[in-house]
Amino acid sequence: MAPNITSAPTNVQFEKGTSEDLHRHQVTNGETKKYPEYRIQIVWRNVIIFVLLHTAALYGLYLAITSAKLVTTIFAFFLYQASGYGITAGAHRLWAHRSYKAKWQLRTILAILNTLAFQDSAIDWARDHRMHHKYSETDADPHNATRGFFFAHVGWLLCRKHPEIKEKGKGIDLTDLYSDPILKFQKKYYLYLMPITCFVIPTVIPVYFWNETWANAYFIPTILRYTFTLNMTWLVNSAAHLIGNKPYDKFINPSENRGVAIGALGEGWHNYHHVFPWDYKTSELGNYAFNFTTAFIDFFAMIGWAYDLKTVSMDMVRKRVERTGDGTHELWGWGDKDLPREDREAAIIVNPTKDQ
């Protein structure tokens, strides 16, 4: 691997540390712009809610081990996976990135699953996520990972947003999302739809169908499942922005993180994803074992509900790997200069030509 770029190909000055109470500066196109003093403003209501939520989730875990029916825990796991697709295949790959298109039937399913996940309306989620990619790891990135693991994981939901987000956010085009009646409906009635879908139905089902206790039904498939899914999502912003290899672009922080990919249904291949955000697979190879969301989308493509799936050619990937990769990329195929000589010589070539 011989990348021919030796310095970060960006003119954004990343800011380290958590000196929120200092003036922040940013360099754009060679110009230094000074922003008004930014002081972190903690939202204590959110701090209290998230502390209570995580405490209740631990109690749910205790109940799952000590008193719940097995089917209740299986149901909680099923809801984690199902709501996860509402985020990965819905809010993320379909609505934020438009990496494929979906018929109204699939959009409706995804909107329901997305509401079950309660990560705010898909339109608001996609707005923040478009900012995250466009202004990655600057003050205009809602979960700017240069402010540390905790801030990127959950801290950003515990304080007011940086003024840069609101300022630069005005330039983000959301007309495609507002022109979808399903998304408009979800956003308009979110305060009614979300509590019913995320909290009431998952609690009632175990009591009604298999006589689970109200406590077990509330704390396991509802609270524990919701909190667990949130943390799996947040790990993409924290762990996958700080830990892992960078085979596609060593000049950015997003990294390839297999552990996160497993927990987040295929969303841990984050170095690739930040380089090619329009690829519906969010990773190079369609390995379903570490990318359930790709399998989910491919299934709906098979029945015709998902279409216009965008992906990246092997040649484009190879060129990028050679230009900016950190050298950890696995073999891209025949002709990769890292292919061991013995493997090359031992390869079986069917119907060979003279130029092999």
Residues near Zn ion (CB under 5 A) are 254
Tell me the closest approach of the beta carbon of residue 6 to ligand ST9, in angstroms: 29
Residue closer to ligand ST9, measured from CB, 88 or 138? 88
List CB contacts of 173: < 8 A, sequence separation 6 or more. none
List CB contacts of 264: < 8 A, sequence separation 6 or more. 84, 88, 232, 233, 235, 236, 240
Taking the CA atoms of residue 231, residue 239, residue 298 and residue 230 in that order, the dihedral angle to the nearest 10 degrees is 10
On whether the CB atoms of residues 73 and 66 are closer than 8 A, the answer is no
Element (H, E) at 101: strand 101-102
Tell me the closest approach of the beta carbon of residue 277 to Zn ion, in angstroms: 5
Say which entry of ligand ST9, Zn ion, none residue 239 contacts (CB below 5 to 8 A, set by partner kind). Answer: none
Q: Which string of x and - marks every residue 82-121 that binds ligand ST9 (by CB under 6 A)?
A: --x--xx---x-------------------------xxx-
Tell me the closest approach of the beta carbon of residue 290 to ligand ST9, in angstroms: 13
Among 56, 61, 82, 172, binds ligand ST9 (CB under 6 A): 172
Report how far apart, in Å, the C-alpha atoms of 247 and of each of 141, 275, 294, 315, 327 are: 23, 10, 21, 15, 6
Tell me the closest approach of the beta carbon of residue 138 to Zn ion, in angstroms: 13
Site residues (CB under 6 A) for ligand ST9, limited to 232-271: 232-233, 236-237, 264-265, 267
Site residues (CB under 6 A) for ligand ST9, limited to 20-49: 43, 46
The DSSP code sequence of 13-71 is: ----S--TTS--EEEETTEEEEPPP----B-HHHHHHHHHHHHHHHHHHHHHHHT--HH
Task: Enter the tokens of residue 178.
Answer: 């507002």
Tell me the closest approach of the beta carbon of residue 7 to Zn ion, in angstroms: 22
Q: Which stretch binds ligand ST9 (CB under 6 A): 165-173, 180-188, 333-341, 342-350?
A: 165-173
Q: Rule CB under 6 A: which residues touch ligand ST9? A: 43, 46, 84, 87-88, 92, 118-120, 127-129, 131, 142, 157, 160-161, 165-166, 169, 172, 229-230, 232-233, 236-237, 264-265, 267
